[in-house]
Structure 1
Amino acid sequence: MNFSRRAVLGGALAGFGGVAASSLLAACGDSGGGGSATSEVTFGSNYSDSVPKAAMAAVLGSYPNGKNVKVNTVDHNSFQENINRYLQGNPDDVFCWFAGYRMQFFAKQGLAGDLSDVWSEVGGNFSDALKAASTGEDGKQYFLPFYNYPWGVFYRKSVWQQKGYAEPKTLDEFKALCEKMKTDGLVPVAFADKDGWPAMGTFDYLNMRINGYQFHVDLMAGKQAWTDAKLKTVFDTWRGLLPYHQPGANGRTWQEAAQSLLNKQSGMYVSGTFVGEQFPGAELSDLDFFAFPEINSEFGRDSVEAPIDGFMMAAKPKNGAGAKELLKYLATGPAELAYLKSNPTNIAANKTADTSGYNALQKKSAELVGSAKHISQFLDRDTRPDFASQVMIPALQTFINKPDDVDGLLKNIEAQKKTIFAS
């Protein structure tokens, strides 16, 4: 089932009702625990694009009990937008999800299974930071990391070498480079937000570069007012950059924006390393990136947006034993490397994984993440899912179309934030 983001936001799923949870992901059972390691395990997957879907198939194909894993794949955006009703219905035994606040939100509601016993066996494979990102407010672990990937400013090395471009370290240098690209006939910055979430990456970087990581965390937790002058500075700065961005972003998918970079029509693209999925074969070696430029010297470039993807277990899995065995396998280096072999745009979460085969993009990604003072999880993962989908998606799209009324936009966000965070 492949519902567009606009249909969801427009309320087209309001009548989906009882069939949403049971049919959306072809879910299984609502009885607790039980089962066995060798009986059927259902796996709810949001790996719907061709490259990650094939990579996940390779991972599960290497699992000794892989023939007993029933995979239910759903369009990535539909999965995210319907996750709440999915978990309140009959979710799969194991499902794909994200670390940090997004995990904690459902764990707090009792919609996720406790994986502390799994962590007692596999915890040595992960850093303390990854364990913290997998831990709920009650101190128990509810998430298993699989890989992560940084966001940066991507470009084609061959184009930059041909034009003589140099990496901009500051916002002023970035603007100067954009001006040069315009005179060279390039769209300086590829841009897309049809799916609602891509523009969040640009917002996060502008906010962290201007106001710092802690302000970002507090803002996402509802502890800062959106009417604060600091946010006006963020949007005013962004408005000054929009003329360098690809027009018509709300009608363009991230894949289409990536194609403009691939086809040498755009000079840069603010995105995650998954942009490499659009670069076939040898073309991937021509893809490079740099950290988002400094704006405020107080914070420099100390924060990196590097979301952690992984897995969770249903609160009441039909096959709890089988689910945990599958998760233990997914926590191994070989499992992660099986994925990365088919999708070499991410970096393994398992610290024991053999990284000797990393390509240049992966090596640079690991260096950037490893050197970061702060790692954020992305706007729609660092805040409540209802606030991200119901408020921030339409707000950012409104800004992209009509960027002049920043005060009105921020007042509207703040009013909705108060209502949502009070619930």
Structure 2
Amino acid sequence: MSRRSLLRGAALGAGAVTLPALLTACGGGPGGDGKTVTLGSNASDPIPKKAFADAFKAYAAQSDGRKVKVNTVDHNTFQENINRYLQGKPDDVFMWFAGYRMQFFAKKGLLYDISDNWQHYTGFSDALKDQSSGEDGKQYLTPYYYYPWAVFHRKSLFTDRGYQVPRTLDEYVALAKQMKKDKLDPIAFCDKDGWPAMGTFDYINMRTNGYEFHKSLMAGQEAWTDKRVRDVFDTWRRLLPYCQPGANGRTWQEAATSLQKREAGMTVLGLPHPGAQFPKAEQTDLDFFPFPEIDPEHGQDAVEAPIDGFLLAKKSKNLKNKKTLESAKDLVKWLATGKAEDIYLKSDPNNIAVSEEADTSGYSAIQKKAVELVSGAKQISQFLDRDTRPDFASTVMIPAIQKFISSPDDVDGLVNDIERQKKTIFASD
């Protein structure tokens, strides 16, 4: 996106500066009317946008005159500007992520404690509660759905060409070589949006060094100049010749479409991404396999499965009104029900419900397979830009990975630069 260079510098400024209209709250004056909840949405793609509209409409229909006023913003723009948004004039409720990126804002006092809501939530596992909790043990997030990252492909293409699902990295590379001989781009690859390639980095890192190292690295506790990190980039460099060239100029939609058009054989993305680009008639042809094993010690133990949900913004002027605060809490309490997830997933079958009370009987084959993948994982990560500080992810890792993709030979210079910036950012608290 051409806007990236304009946004990166301002994306995570510390001052409570009001953003342009793009990310300002759409509610009325301070306190609101007590019945209307404004909601900041990053669901800008057509399928999730409609699915959320269906869910919010259903909420309004069953509530006592309450309604949701949605402010939808381009997903990447929302993500890059979240810090300034929360410190400026945010909506009452907003969509965001579980884990570290939620904890970061909770620690800064930018989120409402909704532990009282959690006393009434049912159908959520202890693991979900943990991912929804701040470092202080209080709950700030209402989880809504999750989705796994994996290597996606077309079943029919694999059948027609006689391709076998690889389990190890060597088998993955051998398959990529065969696809290249067959005049395919082996791996559809993209990073114009700044985050898609992070999934590949995470998987190579967790398969090479294990989940615990991933957590420590993301928390700023490991040096990026460590040989283990260099090994990750060296392995990735081995895969780059089989990736579509020009990734920094390609969106995830374009990469997923090349898979759909049989121009590429595989792609590393999250379930909603290729799912959204496959027509309904072709959905059953979409399949995936876990990212291949690199070190047998870590096998395929870890799965990247981000959790999305809803939070209340502490700086929302509307929430100073007790009735509006009650309405906001009532909205997320309803969204925590299996029924609310069922309504959403009816229009967006590319995600997985987090509530044990959701109706999974209508899940597609790929949804069922996704549940098996995640439930069988020994560790679950939330994704690079969710497992670390948002400022480090946006201002350091986005340009660093894009630089590596375009110029992969200077790994020493790359990791030294990342480490230098990491020390400055993580020392700022």
TM-score range, shorter chain: over 0.9
Which sections of structure 1, spanning at least 5 residues, go unmatched? Answer: none
Query: Match of 2:38, SS?
Result: strand
Answer yes or no: is 1:413 the counterpart of 2:418.
yes
1:385 to 390, 395, 400: 390
Match of residue 130, structure 1, among 128, 131, 141: 128
Distance 1:151 1:407 in 2: 28
- Structure 2 CA distance for aligned equivalents of residues 203 and 248 of structure 1: 18
Task: Output the CA distance in 2 between the equivalents of 1:17 and 1:87.
Answer: 8
Which residue of the partner structure matches residue 373 of structure 2?
A: 368
Who is 1:252 aligned against?
A: 250
Q: After superposition, where does 1:3-402 map in structure 2 within 5 Å?
A: 4-9=3-8, 18-20=17-19, 24-28=23-27, 36=34, 39-63=35-59, 64-65=62-63, 68-122=67-121, 124-274=122-272, 275-317=274-316, 318=318, 319-402=324-407
1:192–1:199 CA contact under 8 A, matched in 2: yes
What is the alpha-carbon distance in structure 1 between the residues aligned to residue 315 and residue 81 of structure 2? 19
Return the letter of the residue paired with 2:200: T
Deviations 1:157-181 (A, max 9, x none): 1111100111100000001100110
Give the root-mean-square deviation of aligned CA atoms.
Answer: 1.9
| SS of residue paired to 1:269 | strand
User: How much does 1:9 deviate?
Assistant: 2.2
**Aligned residue type for 1:220:** M
Q: 1:314 to 1:35 in 2, by over 3 A?
A: farther
Distance in 2 (alpha carbons) for counterparts of 1:411 and 1:388: 16
| Structure 1 pair 22–117 and aligned structure 2 pair: CA distance change class (3 A) | farther
* CA shift in 2, pair 1:12/1:104, >3 Å: closer
- How many angstroms does 1:26 deviate by? 2.8
The residue type paired with residue 172 of structure 2 is F
CA distance in 2, matches of 1:414, 1:201: 20
| Cα separation, partners in 2 of 1:325 and 1:67, compared to 1, 3 Å | closer
After superposition, the C-alpha distances for 1:260-290 in whole angstroms (9 at most, x for unaligned) are 0000000000000012011111111100000
Give the stretch that moved more between structures: 343-352 or 386-395: 343-352
What is the count of residue pairs matched by the alignment?
417
| Matching residue's letter, 1:177 | L
TM-score normalised by L of structure 2 = 0.94
Amino acid at match of 1:338: I
Q: Any gaps of 5 or more consecutive residues in structure 2?
A: 319-323
Distance in 1 separating the partners of 2:22 and 2:337: 31
C-alpha separation in 2, matches of 1:117 and 1:35: 23
Structure 1 position 61, deviation (Å)? 1.3
Which segment is superposed worse, 205-214 or 78-87?
A: 78-87
- TM-score by length of structure 1 reads 0.95
How far 1:111 sits from its partner (Å)?
0.1
Measured after TM superposition, the shift of residue 234 of structure 1 is 0.4
- Quick one: which amino acid aligns to residue 394 of structure 1? P
Kept in 2: contact 1:333–1:352 (CA 8 A): yes
| Percent identity of paired positions between Structure 1 and Structure 2 | 63
What amino acid is aligned across from residue 386 of structure 1 in structure 2? D
Closer, same or farther: CA 22–159 of 1 in aligned 2, 3 Å: closer
CA contact (8 A) 2:11 2:81 kept: no
CA distance 1:107–1:30, shift in 2 (3 Å): farther
Q: Any idea what SS the aligned residue of 2:232 has? A: helix
- Cα displacement (A) at 1:19: 3.9
What do residues 295-329 of structure 1 show as CA deviations (whole Å, max 9, x unaligned)?
A: 00000000000000001001154221010000011
Q: Distance in 2 between matches of 1:321 and 1:162?
A: 57
CA contact (8 A) 2:87 2:315 kept: no
